[in-house]
Structure 1
Amino acid sequence: MTTIASGKKTTGMVKLLHSLNNKLQHMETQVRDKIDCVLTIDGHVSYEDGLGTLTSFQSVLYRLLVEEENNQAIFSSDYIDDVQRYQNFLFGIKAYGRIILETLSDPIENRKDEWGKNDVLFGYIGIPRMIYDKSLYKTEQIVKQQRERQEFACAYLRDMTSQKLNEIIEYIEHIHRCMAPVTYYVDEFTYSNFYNVGKNSGKYDYCLMETLARLKKTDFQSWIKQEVELIFSLYFLLQSGPQIRGEEFNNQQINPVILERFFDKKWAYYLKKQHNLDSKTLNDKYQTSRLPEKAEFIKFIRAQLEKEYRFYRSINGINLKKRELMFLKSELALGLDYFPKDIGKYLVKQYGIKVQSFSDVYDLFRHIVDISLDEKWHEKKGFEIWNNPLEELIHVIISSSIKCTNSDFGMTRNLRRLSHMIWAHKSNAIEEACSWPQTDYFCYVIPDEKICMSIEKDKLLSILRAISARMQFNSWHYLPGNFTISEVPSKRDYYFPPKMADIAEWSDQHHPGHIYTSVRYSIRSPAQVTIDGKDYFAFFDLRLMRTPGKPPYTMREFRVALAYTRYLQMLYQAIVNRLLETQEEFEFTFGSKKWYNKHCVCSIVFNN
């Protein structure tokens, strides 16, 4: 059987899916094992996440195949003619990673227009009639058991005024317009604002934003079951925590029943972690609540946990599912006793100061900022590469973080003229701040020594410039999210600034930039600067990356990265506070395309 996918692109997800197809064609195992291979995308996705993609019917069918080992199911590259004995299923995978396991009454060659151009079709699975009929019956029983919750969701939305219902849809619209792309499954339907889903990608595939826009104009009585479940579930999912909560359901089934299970699991996890609330009383109230109230309980207890815990996310770059996790803030080693020795040696050599002479990290960096912005000291020292000594200090911090975490690349981004942000804040010049071009931001990215030796100079320069340009865009994209929706110009595109750090693997599958730069594993650690008591979230970040050939980052390395983020935060905050007091001008000039073209980064790395 030939696959639908035929494009020239052979990198990232397309390459992975074709490799999966090649493996399946040569697997001499039971059908269940082939399905497992597809659900986990050849082991790249967890078994639990794979099961989470299945419809109710697919889930029942799969369980029966597992329970009945001698089930006689068969795999074939051709349509199975013995339809009295077998029910034909088309077997494949969508371009975005969803299993295709659909009943067929005739060969796929007659229906190729129903599939997207990058979908991969492996062949046919013949399910014995007895198992197929049993699956239909059991699915019908499950649907009956879940009907009460589904009817509650329908009644909840039906009883709203048209205005209130549209407000809910607009709320969902706004959230999804301002966060990374997501893909949701509701039964056999897919709703996404990613991968051009809904645009010639196959039947049952719908663009999420187009669906939301259409539902605002459609009488509720005309909504189909899947649309009711989508809106109800998304609304309360987003009510249960941070704005990006939807990313925890990326490439997963979502409906009121599944959402309530998710809430119950999340509640148990949160309740186990907290020590300052009356757990029994809270739990009794939670267990007797309906889903809307459960969302409020979860949001409440999460806010309490934030006082003691640091939330972060683990990301799988294959299915883009983002799992929320946490650890105690007290576990981070942030004091001067843990300050990196290599940075300490640099400070002794360059500034003649010892780390132990200061009360804390901020006090240390504020002293350095005050010295560095003294023009006479600057001229006396002389800096050929750096426009100012603080650029060199940032270089030293990033270099140290690369070595300490065994990374291949490290970077930080920020606004070039921090005094402009201070002016915009004090003048409430939000519209002007939102109009700053991307070149008003910088990203300073450097490679590890081994990368310098292993990649041809022009190629490396191209990679560094590409990363730098993309991170400039990210800074530009995040800034407006620090203001209210009414304050941001209506046509200004932006994302909510991330507040949680994340640790990711298989990042080189979807994102063109990550594919080009071979970013397999990454740590992203955003943080804020504060001006007159207002936090500007994701104003900068520290990012560390590894290419294929190295292992994923460990939790120890992740915590180390968070500590380095704290050092950068104290440095940037010290600069902001100095500028607030003196009203002087200050500009970062490194990290631009022109700067990278002028300076040999490898020389800088080796001479550090």
Structure 2
Amino acid sequence: MKQKGFEQLLEETHAKVTQLDQPLAVIDTMLTLDGKIPLEIARQSLNFEQWAIYQHLAHGTCLFTDEKPSDSEHVISFGMSAYGRLHLGPSFNDDYTQIWGYVTLTTEAMTEIEQLTTRLHTEEMLRYQSEVVPFFQRLEPQEVIEVIDAIKEKVDFMAPVLLYYNSHTYTTFYHYNNLLKSLEGDTTHFLLDELAEKNKDTWTKDERIVIFNLYTLLQSGPPARGEEVNGVHFSLHYLSHYLEEKLAVYQEMTDTPSKPVPKSLLAKSRLICQLREKVAENYVIYRKINGLNLHKQEQFLNQQEVGLYRDEAMENELAQILGMASEQTYYDAFLNDIAQHPDMTT
């Protein structure tokens, strides 16, 4: 994704939403960047408070301004970060965020939003106590370093990371990078490098959850590298749902007999790793990527059908790009194109 092109897309999306009246339509358009990201995936980027607000947008009214209205008790700001994360309410706002407007809600809606937010955070805390706390209690200092190193290795050799947790954005994307010091960025704080130098007992709850989630995800085996959770609110709730769905898919594809599924997230992830090897015996596993939020989804193609698979749209586009003659092969067309553009190989 080119930065200038993305800036233009944000400007076009901003112009589009100012023509809309309904808050839900406005936020959906912003989440999907005007339909360019599937709504089902885009909504997964919402943190707990944002999700609670989202449920109550239908009866609100919009005001497009960057100046806060005088009646601030019943308004919620919305906007967008320069890297595409939605701002909706005070639970996320950073130096890259621009306010686009405000939504006015009723007193009843504000109360219900607060109640739902509290419930979602409470459920997350229960998972934290049952999964994350015991995990770190068992780790010796050297083992903590090994966990971080395992994550750093994957993060350093993959497409950009872009994931969210509560008010935080963790990314290696362009100059927004705040995960790896070796990649540089606007900040002087790089999460993985800093945590490696700290006692685990001084880590914040959010930091522990992010490290636990990334490590657990990676235990599901290659090619899991973190890209599967790009553009989403990477909570324990999300990870639990993700692993359960993945297990169900793999069990069905491998015709695995029904048996008790491990309760812990880490055990589920390791079971997925085992099942994936069986899936790979009969299927080619590939991933579909959205170039805007960098989110990747796993896809499958039966090995017996690989030779029959054709993407006519891609073939036609390639033929047009390469200027292929009707009798020309792709091999010859590529050689001809390279000869005409020698700078491509330097």
**Category of TM-score, reference length = shorter chain:** 0.7 to 0.9
Q: Which residue does 2:34 correspond to in 1? A: 42
Q: Which residue does 2:328 correspond to in 1? A: none
SS of 1:42's equivalent in the other structure is coil
Determine which of 195, 200, 207 is the counterpart of 1:220: 200
One-letter identity of the residue aligned with 1:35: I
SS of 1:93's equivalent in the other structure is strand
8 Å contact 1:56–1:187 — kept in the other structure?
Answer: yes
Identical columns (%): 26
Determine the C-alpha separation between the residues in 2 that align with 1:241 and 1:280: 22
Relative to structure 1, is the Cα distance of residues 26 and 64 closer, same or farther in structure 2, using a 3 angstrom cutoff? closer
Q: Which residue does 1:299 correspond to in 2? A: 273
8 Å contact 2:160–2:294 — kept in the other structure?
Answer: no
Q: Which residue does 1:373 correspond to in 2? A: none
One-letter identity of the residue aligned with 1:188: S
Relative to structure 1, is the Cα distance of residues 165 and 405 closer, same or farther in structure 2, using a 3 angstrom cutoff? same
Deviates more, 1:145-154 or 1:288-297: 145-154
Q: Which residue does 2:60 correspond to in 1? A: 72
- Written as runs of structure 1 = structure 2, the 5 A alignment for 1:112-511 is 114-116=94-96, 119-151=97-129, 152-198=131-177, 210-275=190-255, 277=256, 279-281=257-259, 284=260, 286=261, 288-333=262-307, 405-408=315-318, 447-449=322-324, 464-465=341-342, 467-469=344-346
Shift of 1:124: 2.5
Determine the C-alpha separation between the residues in 2 that align with 1:244 and 1:468: 30
- 1:273-328, Cα deviation, whole Å (9 max, x unpaired): 123x4x213xx2x1x43111101110111101100011011111111111011121
Aligned: 1:32 with 2:17: no
Relative to structure 1, is the Cα distance of residues 464 and 251 closer, same or farther in structure 2, using a 3 angstrom cutoff? farther
Q: Which residue does 2:48 correspond to in 1? A: 56
Structure 1 runs (4+) deviating above 4 angstroms are 205-209, 401-404, 460-463
Q: Which residue does 1:4 correspond to in 2? A: none
Relative to structure 1, is the Cα distance of residues 467 and 128 closer, same or farther in structure 2, using a 3 angstrom cutoff? farther
Q: Which residue does 1:514 correspond to in 2? A: none
8 Å contact 1:75–1:125 — kept in the other structure?
Answer: yes
8 Å contact 2:42–2:231 — kept in the other structure?
Answer: no
Determine the C-alpha separation between the residues in 1 that align with 2:284 and 2:4: 36
Relative to structure 1, is the Cα distance of residues 208 and 296 closer, same or farther in structure 2, using a 3 angstrom cutoff? farther
Deviates more, 1:142-151 or 1:44-53: 142-151
Relative to structure 1, is the Cα distance of residues 10 and 157 closer, same or farther in structure 2, using a 3 angstrom cutoff? closer
One-letter identity of the residue aligned with 1:326: F
Shift of 1:72: 3.4
Shift of 1:194: 0.9
SS of 1:307's equivalent in the other structure is helix
SS of 1:36's equivalent in the other structure is helix
**RMSD of the TM alignment (CA)?**
3.1
Relative to structure 1, is the Cα distance of residues 245 and 404 closer, same or farther in structure 2, using a 3 angstrom cutoff? closer
TM-score (norm 1): 0.49
Q: Which residue does 1:20 correspond to in 2? A: 13
Relative to structure 1, is the Cα distance of residues 309 and 241 closer, same or farther in structure 2, using a 3 angstrom cutoff? same
Shift of 1:404: 8.2
8 Å contact 1:96–1:195 — kept in the other structure?
Answer: no
Q: Which residue does 1:96 correspond to in 2? A: 83
Q: Which runs of 5+ in 2 are unaligned?
A: 179-184, 326-336
Relative to structure 1, is the Cα distance of residues 209 and 242 closer, same or farther in structure 2, using a 3 angstrom cutoff? farther
- 1:481-506, Cα deviation, whole Å (9 max, x unpaired): xxxxxxxxxxxxxxxxxxxxxxxxxx
- 1:527-560, Cα deviation, whole Å (9 max, x unpaired): xxxxxxxxxxxxxxxxxxxxxxxxxxxxxxxxxx
Determine the C-alpha separation between the residues in 2 that align with 1:403 and 1:216: 47
Q: Which runs of 5+ in 1 are unaligned?
A: 1-8, 105-110, 200-204, 341-400, 411-445, 451-459, 470-608
SS of 2:301's equivalent in the other structure is strand
8 Å contact 1:309–1:326 — kept in the other structure?
Answer: yes
Deviates more, 1:122-131 or 1:300-309: 122-131
8 Å contact 1:184–1:253 — kept in the other structure?
Answer: yes
8 Å contact 2:175–2:186 — kept in the other structure?
Answer: no
SS of 1:60's equivalent in the other structure is helix
Greater Cα radius of gyration, structure 1 or 2: 1
Determine the C-alpha separation between the residues in 1 that align with 2:211 and 2:3: 36
TM-score (norm 2): 0.84
SS of 2:226's equivalent in the other structure is helix
Shift of 1:267: 0.8
8 Å contact 1:53–1:252 — kept in the other structure?
Answer: yes
Relative to structure 1, is the Cα distance of residues 224 and 305 closer, same or farther in structure 2, using a 3 angstrom cutoff? same
8 Å contact 1:80–1:126 — kept in the other structure?
Answer: no
One-letter identity of the residue aligned with 1:261: H
SS of 1:227's equivalent in the other structure is helix
Shift of 1:245: 3.4
Determine the C-alpha separation between the residues in 1 that align with 2:339 and 2:290: 27
Deviates more, 1:9-18 or 1:174-183: 9-18
One-letter identity of the residue aligned with 2:316: N
SS of 1:312's equivalent in the other structure is strand
Determine the C-alpha separation between the residues in 1 that align with 2:228 and 2:49: 23
8 Å contact 1:232–1:256 — kept in the other structure?
Answer: no
